């Protein structure tokens, strides 16, 4: 009999708001259905891939319209699985969903963010969507560097179709055994092909020995941001931008991944002038007062701008709106 899961939900949690809060919700194997208000995701579990359909009680309304966020905040999550899960698998699935939706992020942390930047208190924005595993976040970051968003969409779709099992994101072990030429030719990863394989080999078990990279160390509050930064920039293909982005995906929001999008934001929204380098420097200084929450403030400013152009994120369809973000459409 197919399993059903019900992880603990914070009192402020809104699936539609908190799942549709970062661009990775648009990347395979994630799928948000804006009409049915369902987040679908294939997870790797010991017994094989499992497809989860995640909904929140009360959304949509009885008439089928999206429910106002305050009305559904804290309502139970309903997770339907396409197969029966053994007890260890149930625990593993809940752990992955918890990471993905940041269900374990303390209310006190979000309150501290809202005290620093009250602009987001009314909407409750604070949680940022991420992947069920650090490895997937690292690879998705690599596929989003030096490329337009539609190509990032394509790379992740092809990685799931070509290397993944049953539509899941590829495991480190599977990618570690994949020829870089396959990633280049069939997954359209370009120069990232060897880097992705090298990263996978660091995350994959080595026979009976554990992987070289231990995600728990990176997510341990006892590990300093400086230690994490130094370890990230030492990884294959991980430069300052990618490292800063991975840090926020690890729950470390004190650094900004500044790039050309930051320059666009600095010019079009913040009104900064000068060379790209000067604008980027001013963007960094602008968010410095937000301290350990600076990425949240920076990101939600960007997200508000995107939503002003394309509508609220929980109304975006992955195959249409989500696949067409380009710089020219955001001017």
Per-residue pLDDT tens over the stretch 101-148: 999 999 999 999 999 999 999 999 999 999 999 999 999 999 999 999
Same domain, 156 and 78: no
- Intra-chain end-to-end CA distance of the chain, in Å: 51
Q: Supply the pLDDT for residue 326.
A: 64
Q: What is the pLDDT of residue 331?
A: 54
- Report the CATH number that the domain containing residue 72 is assigned in CATH: 3.30.310
H or E segment to which residue 41 belongs: strand 38-45
Q: Looking at residue 323, what is its pLDDT?
A: 79
pLDDT of residue 289: 97
- Is residue 93 located within the same domain as residue 153? no
DSSP state of 28: T
Q: Does residue 244 share a domain with residue 138?
A: yes
Q: Do 135 and 170 contact (CB within 8 A), yes or no?
A: no
How far is residue 245's CA from residue 247's CA, in Å, rounded to a whole number? 5
Indicate whether 148 and 180 sit together in one domain. Answer: yes
Residue 10's φ and ψ, nearest 5 degrees, are: -60, 155
**Residue 231 and residue 181 in one domain:** yes
Owning domain of residue 245? 134-249
Task: Verify that 147 and 240 share a domain, yes or no.
Answer: yes
* pLDDT tens, residue by residue, 200-245: 999 999 888 899 999 999 999 999 999 999 999 999 999 999 999 9
Last residue of a domain, one of 197, 218, 249: 249
User: pTM above 0.95?
Assistant: yes
Lookup result for tokens 């989500």: 322
What pLDDT does 1 receive?
Answer: 82
Query: Which residues of the chain are modeled with pLDDT < 70?
Result: 326-331
Domain membership of residue 19 (yes or no) is yes
- Total domains, the chain: 3
């Amino acid at each position: 009999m197919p399993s059903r899961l019900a992880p603990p939900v914070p009192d402020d949690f809104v699936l539609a708001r908190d799942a549709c809060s970062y661009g990775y919700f648009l990347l395979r194997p994630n799928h948000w259905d804006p009409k049915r208000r369902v987040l679908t995701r294939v997870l790797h579990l010991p017994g094989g891939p499992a497809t989860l359909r995640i909904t929140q009680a009360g959304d949509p309304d009885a008439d089928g319209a999206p429910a106002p966020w305050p009305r559904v905040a804290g309502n139970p999550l309903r997770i339907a699985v396409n197969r029966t899960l053994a007890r260890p698998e149930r625990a593993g699935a809940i752990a992955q969903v918890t990471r993905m939706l940041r269900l374990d992020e303390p209310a006190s942390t979000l309150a501290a963010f809202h005290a620093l930047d009250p602009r987001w208190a009314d909407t409750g924005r604070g949680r940022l969507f991420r992947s069920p595993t650090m490895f997937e976040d690292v690879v998705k970051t690599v596929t989003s560097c030096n490329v337009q968003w539609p190509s990032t969409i394509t790379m992740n779709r092809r990685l799931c179709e070509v290397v993944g099992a049953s539509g899941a994101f590829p495991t480190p072990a599977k990618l570690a055994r994949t020829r870089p030429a396959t990633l280049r030719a069939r997954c359209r990863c370009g120069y990232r092909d060897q880097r992705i394989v090298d990263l996978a080999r660091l995350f994959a078990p080595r026979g009976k020995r554990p992987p070289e990279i231990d995600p728990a160390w990176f997510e341990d509050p006892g590990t300093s941001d400086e230690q994490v930064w130094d370890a990230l920039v030492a990884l294959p293909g991980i430069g300052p931008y990618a490292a800063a982005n991975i840090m926020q995906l690890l729950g470390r929001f004190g650094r900004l991944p500044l790039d050309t999008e930051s320059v666009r934001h600095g010019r079009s929204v913040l009104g900064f002038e000068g060379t790209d380098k000067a604008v980027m420097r001013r963007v960094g200084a602008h968010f410095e007062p937000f301290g350990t929450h600076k990425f949240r403030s920076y990101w939600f400013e960007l997200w508000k701008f995107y939503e002003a152009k394309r509508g609220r994120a929980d109304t975006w369809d992955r195959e249409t709106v989500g696949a067409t973000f380009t710089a020219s459409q955001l001017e």
